[in-house]
Amino acid sequence: MADIKKIITPLTDAVVQQLKMGDSVLIHGIIYTARDSAHQRFIEALDNNESLPVDLKGQILFYAGPAPAKPGDPIGSIGPTTSGRMDPFTPRLLELGLKGMIGKGNRSDTVKKAMQKHQAIYFGAIGGIAALMAKCVRNSEVAAYKDLGPEAIHRLKVENFPVVVVNDCYGGDLYQEGIKKFKKGTINHSRSEIFK
């Protein structure tokens, strides 16, 4: 079994360059949630020459909106949403120094090229384990756009937050690699074998 890599935010180019497609990673530090509405506001602010409410340099955006927290918990269940909806906005945010993104599903060719250009990485979060991921959150607070409710930007302090590298800064694509292996018949067709 491959070693699990541990990284601490904010990310640097050196950290990003050490991560390869298929790596299992545990994230420690601060990450920010941001879904469609927050991304739209980011771009509107940039179009109006306004500063963003969060400095994205070196940061990771988690495409998620947390459920309400139970009493005594920092956050409710929090799972990834489809990343493709953020694709139209992502290249501009990468230009500002965004280093990582967490979500589910494929990214566009434009985003993948921008990730190579700006030395960034895309992590896949496993769908269906939102409750487990919430247990990795030690603290949560609204960082911006409170009026968006669950889609507000939340600042999360995480420990051992589990993700997998889907797209690295070298052009590696775990989804495409899985499809190639499947078509060649070199792997078992069960889901657990596709992404080994």
- Band of the pLDDT at 186, cuts 50, 70, 90? low
Rounded to the nearest integer, the mean pLDDT of the chain is 90
d(CA 9, CA 26): 11
Work out the average pLDDT over 60-83. Answer: 91
10 Å Cβ neighbour count for 98? 25
Q: What is the pTM of this model?
A: 0.89
Residue 61 burial by Cβ neighbours in a 10 Å radius (0-12, 13-18, 19+)? buried
Domain boundaries, the chain: 5-171
Work out the average pLDDT over 161-172. Answer: 96
CATH architecture group of domain 5-171: Alpha-Beta Barrel (3.20)
d(CA 89, CA 12): 22
pLDDT in tens, 104-153: 999 999 999 999 999 999 999 876 778 888 899 999 999 999 999 989 99
